[in-house]
């Protein structure tokens, strides 16, 4: 397939040095007018392009636009295997992808956005999703899993996010049971898996895996209600960083997804889970009570011991915890 002038111009603008419209036109074999139109189209797509007299054009080093093309070019094993769509703003990527899934979309359909106006987390909590500071994406899956084992999708995603964040920053991460990824004791990601159930078979018809990533601290900082717990993966904006993050999370998640149910996934999760051995507060519909977290079992349940020596396995879908 012949690439457009815009697609061919993008790598030229991504270099550190400026490139003149004349030189770009000569390299691409098009007119200067075609180059100018391509620059304007890229600006419309969200790319921050500088234009300096007698020097030319370049993408600003801190311009970090999120596009399907940018994500795709950072994929390796998954290159060409996913159907990726990126929108500037959506209500919720999970909600929109559910509609797409109901019309028969294939596994591996990915919807990402730079902003959500109604992002959601577990227990219907709001997930703060401001413009241009995060990556909010949902993945359509059609696994052969029972409803009880759907939590393995969430845990595989948590490990994928933790590993990707560490690889890109060199900073250590941890997972708070069941799906909060922390960096330097601050939450950098939220994960929500929602599923449609086949009533006859008791298996999943499809699952929507939603992953919200705090790439940067938003302009003006995080809202007061989460400023003490929320954190960002990157300390400085750089061109292409969000796309690299999205691509690496996708690569790592699908690597674990292919092995769901294996000890590879479980071992990787246990290795990063920071909860066992800690004093916690168990929060349920019956109220809150202190406990000691003991271990993660093979079904990703958390075994806890209460002060009266009674022990219990906690299910992620019913109970949340607070670290002390």
Tell me: do 293 and 258 sit in the same domain.
no
- Number of domains into which the chain is organized: 3
Query: Structure tokens of 248?
Result: 């690496």
pTM of the model: 0.87
Q: Give the pLDDT band (50/70/90) at residue 48.
A: confident
pLDDT for position 199: 66
Query: Residue 15 has what pLDDT?
Result: 85
Is there a single domain that holds both residue 170 and residue 295?
Answer: no
pLDDT at 43 over 90: no
Yes or no: say if 141 and 257 are a contact pair by the CB < 8 Å rule: yes
313: domain CATH number is 2.30.30.100
Residues 211 and 73 in one domain: yes
DSSP per-residue letters across 232-245: -S-SS--TTHHHHH
Report the CATH number at residue 146: 3.30.930.10
Tokens of 264: 């590879």
Say yes or no: 125 and 23 in one domain.
no
Question: Are 93 and 38 part of one and the same domain?
Answer: no
Residues 185 and 259 in one domain: yes
Whether the CA torsion 15, 21, 23, 29 is positive or negative: it is positive
Q: Hey, how many other C-beta atoms are within 10 angstroms of the C-beta on 80?
A: 6
pLDDT of 299 strictly over 80: yes
- Where helices occur in 20-87 by DSSP H, the ranges are 21-28, 32-45, 68-73
Same domain, 86 and 194: yes
Specify whether 111 is located in the same domain as 133.
Answer: yes
Q: Which domain holds residue 45?
A: 5-59
Radius of gyration of the chain (CA): 22
Count how many residues are written for the chain.
Answer: 324
Query: pLDDT tier at 285 (50, 70, 90 boundaries)?
Result: confident
Residues 6+ positions from 289 with CB-CB distance below 8 Å:
281, 282, 306
Q: Let me know whether 230 and 301 are in one domain.
A: no
Q: What share of the chain is helix, strand, coil (3-state, %, to 5)?
A: 30, 30, 40
Q: Are 209 and 193 in contact (CB under 8 A)?
A: yes
End-to-end CA distance of the chain: 57
Note whether 241 and 99 are same-domain residues.
yes
Write the CA distances from 96 to 72, 112, 142, integer angstroms: 21, 10, 17
CA 276 – CA 93 distance, rounded (Å)? 32
Residue 81: per-residue pLDDT? 96
Residue 144 phi, psi (nearest 5): -95, 75
User: Taking a C-beta distance cutoff of 8 angstroms, is the pair 291, 259 a contact?
Assistant: no
Residue 37 CB coordination number (10 Å): 14
CATH number at residue 13: 1.10.10.10
| pLDDT tens track for 110-160 | 999 999 998 876 655 678 888 889 999 999 999 988 877 889 999 999 999
Domain edge (last residue) among 19, 34, 59: 59
User: Would you say 208 and 138 are in contact if contact means Cβ atoms under 8 Å apart?
Assistant: yes
């Amino acid at each position: 397939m012949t690439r457009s002038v815009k697609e061919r111009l993008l790598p030229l603008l991504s270099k550190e040095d400026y490139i003149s419209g004349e030189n770009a036109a000569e390299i691409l074999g098009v007119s200067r007018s075609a180059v100018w139109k391509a620059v304007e189209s890229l600006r419309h797509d969200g790319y921050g392009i500088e234009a300096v007299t007698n020097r030319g054009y370049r993408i600003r080093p801190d311009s970090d636009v999120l596009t399907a093309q940018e994500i795709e070019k950072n994929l390796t094993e998954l290159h060409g295997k996913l159907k990726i769509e990126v929108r500037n703003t959506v209500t919720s990527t999970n909600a929109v992808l559910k509609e797409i899934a109901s019309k028969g979309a294939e596994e591996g359909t990915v919807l990402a956005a730079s902003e959500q106006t109604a992002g959601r987390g577990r227990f219907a909590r709001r997930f703060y999703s401001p413009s241009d500071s995060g990556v909010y994406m949902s993945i359509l899956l059609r696994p052969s899993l029972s409803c009880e084992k759907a939590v393995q999708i969430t845990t595989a995603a948590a490990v994928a996010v933790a590993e990707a964040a560490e690889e890109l920053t060199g900073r250590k991460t941890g997972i708070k049971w069941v799906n909060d990824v922390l960096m330097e004791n601050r939450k950098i990601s939220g994960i929500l898996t929602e599923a449609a159930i086949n009533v006859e078979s008791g298996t999943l018809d499809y699952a929507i895996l939603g992953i919200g990533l705090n790439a940067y601290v938003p302009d003006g900082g995080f809202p007061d209600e989460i400023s003490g717990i929320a954190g960002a993966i990157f300390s400085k904006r750089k061109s292409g960083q969000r796309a690299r993050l999205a691509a690496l999370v996708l690569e790592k998640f699908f690597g674990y997804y292919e092995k769901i149910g294996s000890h590879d996934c479980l071992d990787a999760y246990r290795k990063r889970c920071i909860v066992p051995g800690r004093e916690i507060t168990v929060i349920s519909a019956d109220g809150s009570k202190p406990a000691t977290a003991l271990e993660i079992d093979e079904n990703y349940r958390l075994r806890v011991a209460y002060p009266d020596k009674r022990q219990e396995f906690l299910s992620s879908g019913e109970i949340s915890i607070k670290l002390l």
